Amino acid sequence: MYRPQNSPEEDAVDGSHAYRLKQWPQIPDRFRTARVLGACSRMTVGPVTSNWFLTHTGLEPAAAAELVASLVAQGALECISLGRRSSSQADETHAPATAGAKLRERLVQRFAWKRAAVTALLCLGVSAALDDRFPGDLGTLALPNLPASAG
């Protein structure tokens, strides 16, 4: 049977949706636990993924789907579609990097602090060259308000 959209029961566990509470719902008594209330409280701040919801409520997938359906029926839950990932997309994102890409990444990480240090020294040198108050005295230029340097 063709369904243009997943039912909330299927969305609760498939990882392709996020949920946000628009208003505080009437939570059925059998779901009113500290973990469920905590998850609902977090959902008032911002959206959470369906996997996060399932993990943090501590409910079985069927029970979580039932709770989600109840919240949707009350109009308290906003379902945000994250889109489905095809198997080819999953393979592309987890494909191993080429040796050249790995080497470039390691070199960038290794020399990033050196570039920052050279840039800082260059800026300090340009600043010293443009400052006419202390010609040739870099120590007082860097720390002009210290009592020892004032003399």
Q: Each residue of 124-146: pLDDT tens digit?
A: 888 777 776 655 555 555 555 65
pTM of the complete model beyond 0.75: no
Same domain for 24 and 61? Answer: yes
Claim to verify: residue 77 and residue 133 sit in the same structural domain:
no
* 77 and 16 in a common domain: yes
Confidence of residue 114 (pLDDT cuts 50, 70, 90): confident
Number of domains in the chain: 2
77 lies in the same domain as 13: yes
| Alpha-carbon Rg for the chain in angstroms | 29
Domain, as residue range, for 129: 99-145
75 with 24, same domain?
yes
Same domain, 20 and 48: yes
Where among 83, 113, 131 does a domain terminate? 83
Q: What is the DSSP string of 4-43?
A: SS--HHHHHHHSSEEEEESS-----GGG--HHHHHHHHHH
